[in-house]
Amino acid sequence: MPDTATLEKETSASKQINELVANAQLAFDQYQNFSQEQVDTICQAMVNAAAAHSKDLAELAYKETGRGNTEDKAIKNIFASQYIWKQVKDDKTVGIIGVDEAKKVDKVAEPLGIIAGVTPVTNPTSTVIFKILLALKTRNAIIFSLHPQAMQCGVATARLMAEAAVAAGAPKNLVQWISDPSIEASNALLNHPGIAIVLATGGPGLVKAAYSTGKPALGVGPGNAPVYIEKTANIKSAVTDIMLSKTFDNGMICASENSVVIDRDILRDVKEEFEKQGAYFVPDNEVEKLSEAVIDPNRHTVRGPVAGQTAEKIAELAGIKVPAGTKLLIGKLDGIGVNFPLSGEKLSPVLSMYVASSQEAAFSICLGLLNYGGLGHTAVLHTQDNNVVDKFGAQMPACRILINQPGSLGGIGGLFNGLTPSLTLGTGTYGKNSISHNLSTYDLLNIKYVARPTRHPVEFINELRSVIRAK
């Protein structure tokens, strides 16, 4: 039986969550009377507030978490507000949103209810902005379980958005958060009967917990994206893209490349270009030291204190001397899996490197890396051969196949490709997710279909009966 202290914690957590859900339900009920114009006015106000304070929130996030850098976090905040709003602002989310005259079917949008939002330490402010914006655009309410290592910046972001929404006419308590965080409170939120859906972004354990609640959940798993530099690639452009991706906020976007696979024919030129741009190739006899510093041997994931650190800081932790100004660490591996820990997701400016003797071998390595913790997420290819693009796209079990672009900034979409801008990237059934696309407004709506008859029912059935009798 649970001891007294545990029971007290559970009781306190349950009381806190019950109050939050009750307040959210009242706000949600009021919000159902709002028109599309009112909803969009509220969202625009939140976007304006988030964009105006993007740098302030970024500074808070960096100061509290010690990960990444302020400038890139500010960019992510702007992306989560202005860029995503540009994508969804014209989406119809209230009432009749579509009419098919030929099929005589109307589509009517309804909200899901109260969302439980779970956020990561890696993107603590931008994820909050993104989830609130989508939740209120679709007339839902949202309650956050914020990462304990990013509580202050998460609360500041949620409060900013909530106050902007209320000032624009929204009911109070559409946006709330657990103010006294604990495992018990998080579990109580995710499993509360008043919660309609769980929207979880975080590590594998967290996502699994979201899917174990017995209710709908949209949770995204880890990424272990391979990048293949094929022999026809523009080497300078390929390396530039990878360097940008791996150094942007110190590699914490889950779509960032984790391993580079290089055709042997161009290996020397690729290495030279990486070194020109600030990468350091860790000597073979020190790769194990790097691996021990970066990967937790028990969980087989990146160590918490390493994610989002600079290459120089990670080298220091590993006891490896690198030139001043080193931006990226690269270690050569000959295998994949638990016996080669560095082959997994690293969420930092660290790459494992593989050399392929053929295109077939390169594809095989990429498949192995995706199978080792990256199924369904992202795979990147640099090539000038469209036949290779077609083959890669057909064979990789990844929902984002990115060609000649940075993995991290390409995966979140909208900046320089046609993917839907999002900070929740589905991995499909490959990665045990319920969606295989970048999450957007449509995923947070119930769609009702109002169908009128396209032919006379009795006459149609009688015609079928006549046909059958004639046989």
Helix (H, G, I), strand (E, B) or coil at 213: coil
Q: What is d(CA 119, CA 200) in angstroms, rounded to the nearest whole number?
A: 7
Pair of tokens at residue 115? 């969302």
445-451 sheet: strands from edge to edge: 95-100, 105-111, 445-451
Q: What is d(CA 123, CA 149) in angstroms, rounded to the nearest whole number?
A: 11
Whole-number CA gyration radius for the chain: 24
- Residue 150: in which H helix or E strand, if any? none
Q: For residues 347 and 302, is the Cβ–Cβ distance under 8 A? A: yes
User: CA distances (Å), 333 to each of 286, 352, 354, in order?
Assistant: 12, 6, 6
Q: For residues 378 and 245, is the Cβ–Cβ distance under 8 A? A: no
Q: What is d(CA 311, CA 247) in angstroms, rounded to the nearest whole number?
A: 9
Q: What is d(CA 230, CA 340) in angstroms, rounded to the nearest whole number?
A: 24
| Catalytic residue numbers, as ranges | 254
CA 154, 160, 163, 165 dihedral sign is negative
DSSP state of 170: P
Degrees to nearest 5, angle at CA 378 with 373 and 380: 120
Pair of tokens at residue 449? 């279909």
Give percent helix, percent strand, percent coil of the chain, each to the nearest 5.
Answer: 50, 20, 30
